[in-house]
Amino acid sequence: MLRKVIVAFMIFLSFLLESAVFNHFALGGIVPKLTIILTSSFGFMRGEKDGMVIGFFCGFLSDVFYGGVLGFYALILTYIGYINGKFSRIFYPEDIKLPIALIVVSDLSYGVVCYILLFLLRGRFDFLYYFRRIIVPEALYTILVTVFLYPVILKINEKLEEREKRSAQKFV
């Protein structure tokens, strides 16, 4: 229960930061995708299901406030959460390389999927331009934020897991 409340609060907070705070600190009009960091890190820390559900709700928030149709970003982020969840088997909390790599790849693939669905299908063919102008800067800015944000998420998750373990032992 506590986990649900805290995770809901984190989803809410990262959406707020993304939309209301980081636009004041946008570099070249680019805002880091905090919701991807959150989705992807819960994916590889907790497994497919947590990743998927968190991704779904993160995407759904953007859909309601900024999407043309409901479910578009929700679907993309659900899959990001699911695929990241596949890596929970080889995830160790001490290792920072895998999380960073996964988050970058997630953000890049999010960018490419958005480009294909939002731009390529409308006849904007200059992939390289959009890749250089939007996708790569977004990924770079996202890594930068990840370096500070990921340890926080990891710590919160560890604390929650500890608590869950303790309350499970009580019943033995």
Sign of the CA dihedral 56, 106, 14, 9?
A: positive
State yes or no: residue 48 binds other proteins (CB under 8 A). Answer: yes
State yes or no: residue 139 binds other proteins (CB under 8 A). Answer: no
72, 74, 80, 83 alpha-carbon torsion, rounded to 10°:
-110
Which stretch, 78-86, 98-106, 146-154, 157-165, contacts other proteins (CB under 8 A)? 78-86
State yes or no: residue 73 binds other proteins (CB under 8 A). Answer: yes
In angstroms, the CA 150 to CA 153 distance is 5
- Touching other proteins, residues 96-135 (CB under 8 A): 114-115, 118-119, 122, 124, 126, 129-130, 133-134
In the complex with other proteins, the residue whose CB is nearer, 52 or 102, is 52
In the complex with other proteins, the residue whose CB is nearer, 8 or 147, is 8
Residue 44 neighbours by CB under 8 Å, 6+ apart: 51, 84, 85, 87, 88, 91, 98, 99, 102
Number of residues that bind other proteins (CB under 8 A): 54
State yes or no: residue 29 binds other proteins (CB under 8 A). Answer: yes
Q: What are the percentages of helix, strand and coil residues in the chain, rounded to 5?
A: 80, 0, 15
DSSP bridge pairs for 27 = 30
| SS3 of residue 30 by DSSP | strand
List residues binding other proteins (CB under 8 A): 12, 15-26, 29-31, 33-35, 47-49, 52-53, 56, 61-62, 64-66, 68-75, 78-79, 82, 85, 114-115, 118-119, 122, 124, 126, 129-130, 133-134, 138
